[in-house]
Amino acid sequence: MSDTHTRGRKKGASERPSASPPTASDDARRIALAVAGAGLDKKAVAIEIIDVADKVDYTELLVLMSGRSDRHVHSIAKGIEEDLREKLGSVPLSVEGLTAGQWVLLDYNDVVVHVFQQATRYYYDLEGLWIDAERLKVPQPSHRAEEESGEG
């Protein structure tokens, strides 16, 4: 049987010391932060990065964000795709829901991105499902960071 879907993290997990649970890799964190930055550039709101490395075997991090309309959700998702391709050379393994614009899922292997319309996000409540998981700090929007540093 092929190991292509194990994603390399959980293989041999029982050999790890039990003192600390697994956390997301540096590469997954770099991708998730780039996703969050691209979402901020497209005016996404309520961005959360959730570390699920010790809870599931299909990914390490979930990135959740919201848009105001189906067109906004579509724009955010396309912006993330373009930004990650240009800056990191990363393309998603799959993209689902892009035409409907209620909930778009982008699978970057160890990072799964969910771009929701707000009502859909509240209905599925993924934050509630992973309430006990650690959160990563989301960066400031780039225009705010420039204003704070005096560059804007």
Per-residue pLDDT of 53-104, as tens digits, reads 999 999 999 999 999 999 999 999 999 999 999 999 999 999 999 999 999 9
Whether 13 is covered by a domain: the verdict is no
pLDDT at 3: 42
Q: What's the CATH number where 141 sits?
A: 3.30.460.10
Tokens matching residue 37: 């930055």
Tokens matching residue 90: 């990363």
**Residues 138 and 46 sit within 8 Å (Cβ to Cβ):** no
3-state secondary structure of 93: coil
Whether 140 is covered by a domain: the verdict is yes
pLDDT, tens digit (0-9, with 9 covering 90-100), for 91-138: 999 999 999 999 999 999 999 999 999 999 999 999 999 999 999 999
pLDDT, tens digit (0-9, with 9 covering 90-100), for 9-30: 443 444 444 456 678 899 999 9
| 41 CB-side CA count, 13 A | 15
- Please give the model's pTM, rounded to 2 decimal places: 0.80
Q: How many domains does the chain have?
A: 1
Whether 76 is covered by a domain: the verdict is yes
Domain of residue 32, residue span: 21-149
Task: Give the torsion through C-alpha atoms of 118, 102, 97, 51, to 10 deg.
Answer: 10
Whether 36 is covered by a domain: the verdict is yes
Backbone angles phi, psi at 102, to 5 degrees: -90, -40
Whether 10 is covered by a domain: the verdict is no
Q: How many Cβ atoms sit within 10 Å of the Cβ of residue 149?
A: 8
For residue 147, is pLDDT > 90?
A: no
Whether 138 is covered by a domain: the verdict is yes
Whether 101 is covered by a domain: the verdict is yes
Q: SS3 helix, strand, coil % of the chain, rounded to 5?
A: 40, 20, 40
